[in-house]
């Protein structure tokens, strides 16, 4: 595939919410020695957003990061991953993404209160989804994240 071909195919998947096809396109591209660009990954993750498959998107992105095939995210890709972590209720990953974003301020990556609020929502979603009970740490997560957001806002 040439530059732009993968992204164009992934944008077509987004219109149809064809998550499995989008995942296969990324895997095929990777098997040919071409890791997707930030734009490719953003288009793929938007496909999962259209289908409301946040857990699957989070798993796909996490696996790619572990393999080293995820490109260095730009602001849009970070936010797409953050939205999926929130939708999946994976608050620890949401906070880890925010911390990574903050470390990349020199690259022009910014973190807003809205971004931090997504992590609060992820923690609230996690707490609401746990039918067996939630640890004290997890139960306190929304407040801890809110405190951290306020501290970050005050330091700007």
Q: H or E stretch including 28? A: helix 19-31
Q: How far apart are the first and last CA of the chain?
A: 43
Q: What is the pTM of this model?
A: 0.83
Contact status, residue 29 vs residue 6, Cβ threshold 8 Å: yes
Query: pLDDT of the chain along its 156 residues, tens only?
Result: 666 889 899 999 998 899 999 999 999 999 988 888 999 999 999 999 999 999 999 999 999 989 888 898 999 999 999 999 999 989 999 999 999 999 999 999 999 999 999 999 999 988 887 665 778 888 888 889 999 888 888 887
Dist. CA 50–CA 71, nearest whole Å: 22
The alpha carbon of 79 is separated from its chain's Cα centroid by a whole number of angstroms, namely 6
- Tokens 């470390």 correspond to 103
């Amino acid at each position: 595939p040439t530059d732009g071909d993968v992204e164009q195919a992934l944008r077509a998947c987004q219109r149809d919410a064809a998550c499995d096809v989008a995942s296969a396109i990324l895997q095929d591209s990777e098997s040919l020695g071409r890791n997707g660009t930030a734009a490719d990954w953003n288009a793929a993750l938007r496909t999962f957003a259209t289908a409301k498959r946040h857990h699957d998107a989070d798993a796909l992105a996490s696996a790619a990061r572990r393999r080293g095939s995820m490109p260095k995210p730009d602001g849009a890709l970070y936010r797409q991953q953050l939205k999926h972590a929130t939708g999946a209720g994976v608050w620890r990953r949401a906070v880890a993404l925010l911390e990574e974003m903050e470390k990349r301020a020199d690259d022009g990556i910014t973190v807003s209160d809205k971004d931090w609020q997504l992590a609060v929502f992820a923690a609230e979603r996690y707490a609401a989804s746990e039918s067996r009970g939630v640890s004290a740490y997890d139960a306190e997560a929304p407040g801890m994240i809110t405190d951290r957001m306020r501290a970050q806002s005050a330091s700007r």
